[in-house]
Amino acid sequence: MDIDQLLSIYFTNQATKEQRKTVEAWRDSNEKNAGQFELIQMAWRTKPNPKTYINREEAGERIWRKYNSERSLIKKSFGIGFIIRAAAVLLFMATFAFLIFRESGTKVDSIQVVEKKTNIKSNPSGVKSTIRLPDGSSVVLNSESTISYKFEQNDSVREVELSGEAFFKIKREARRPFIVRSGNVATQVLGTEFNVKAFPAEDNIDIALLEGKIKVIAPSDKNNFNDFFLEPGQGFRFNKSDQSGIIEQIDFKEKFGWKNGTLYFRNNTLEEVIAKLSRWYGVKFELANYSNQKWDYSGEYQDEYLEVILESMRFSEHFTYEIDNELVKIYFN
């Protein structure tokens, strides 16, 4: 590669470390080379309009080609004649560079980066909502849950991030996969119906498939990921603590009932019951006389008031209660 080519890639920031050293050695070898280098560098530093996005590589190459056409003017001497010619060449090159930058909308390929807006939907405790995505898919978002996405109608990949729980009904598009990210677990589908439960405070991420097929990508250790393929009626449980995942058969009411107003308990501990009730009704609990009683509660409620559920629980679990606005006080016998 000759010095002309090296100078071109040097001023367009494409030179390797060794190529930069070669150019700088050529520049420092004599005054003539140093003068030529300075001319190109000063022209390159001509400032463009800061609001205009330009293709610097093409602009630099065009300046360099023009420099080469004028280079014969300064080859023979480095005296007063050189200074006059150099000043003329410098003025021409600076003007040429300015015109390139100013007219970059027509003479230079423009590069404009548009940051896509992030859409964020959040529900507080006690609230559920249905969201329509840009591709026509729908999401039922549970209480204390947040979903965010940037993709638009014509993007090649549909991707959302979920914290909490949501049921997805995804419009099938064979060429555009749909990806749900929950922490370091990703669920990839083409078109299907499934549920993802990934509350930050809970130890497990649970994914359940109602229709279609999905692929779950989950870490097996710090550097590797495994693929898990689910069929309808199967679920995937990922333990965040030990980074382990397992495919299992699901209870449909337990996994999908919430979106239809069914509050379902199956062998739940006291902590799990309180977490579900708090999320469902938007209340907080205060426990009195609690002595680590072991709960193994099961029950099913369809669109019931909180008082109805507490009344049915209190006989089997031996407690009384008071409801004070959004605070529920539980007194164990």
Give residue for tokens 């069929």. 231
In a domain, 177, yes or no: yes
- Taking only the tens place, the pLDDT of each residue in 160-171 is 999 999 999 998
In a domain, 114, yes or no: no
Quote the Cα angle for 164-256-168, to 5°. 60
Q: Are strands 158-169 and 178-182 parallel, antiparallel or unpaired?
A: parallel
**Rg, Å, the chain Cα set:** 33
Domain count, the chain: 3
Q: What integer pLDDT is reported at residue 242 of this predicted model?
A: 87
pLDDT of residue 95 exceeding 60, the answer is no
Same domain? 134 vs 248: yes
pLDDT average, residue stretch 256-267: 95
What is the band of 33 on the pLDDT scale with cuts at 50, 70, 90?
A: confident
SS (H, E, C) 215-241: EEEEECCCCCEEEEEECCCEEEEEECC
Q: Whole-angstrom Cα distance, residue 160 to residue 188?
A: 11
Contact of 138 with 131, CB cutoff 8 Å:
yes
- Contact criterion met (CB below 8 Å) for 43 and 97: yes
Is residue 113 a part of any domain in this protein?
Answer: no
Is the pLDDT at 108 greater than 80, yes or no? no
Which 8-state DSSP code applies to residue 207? E
Here the CATH number for the domain that contains residue 162 is 2.60.120.1440
Q: What is the mean pLDDT of residues 301-310?
A: 94
- Ranked by mean pLDDT, the top range of 71-75, 91-95, 283-287 is 283-287
Record the pTM. Answer: 0.63
Same domain, 228 and 151: yes
Specify the pLDDT at position 127: 93
For 288-304, what is each residue's pLDDT tens digit? 988 777 889 999 999 99
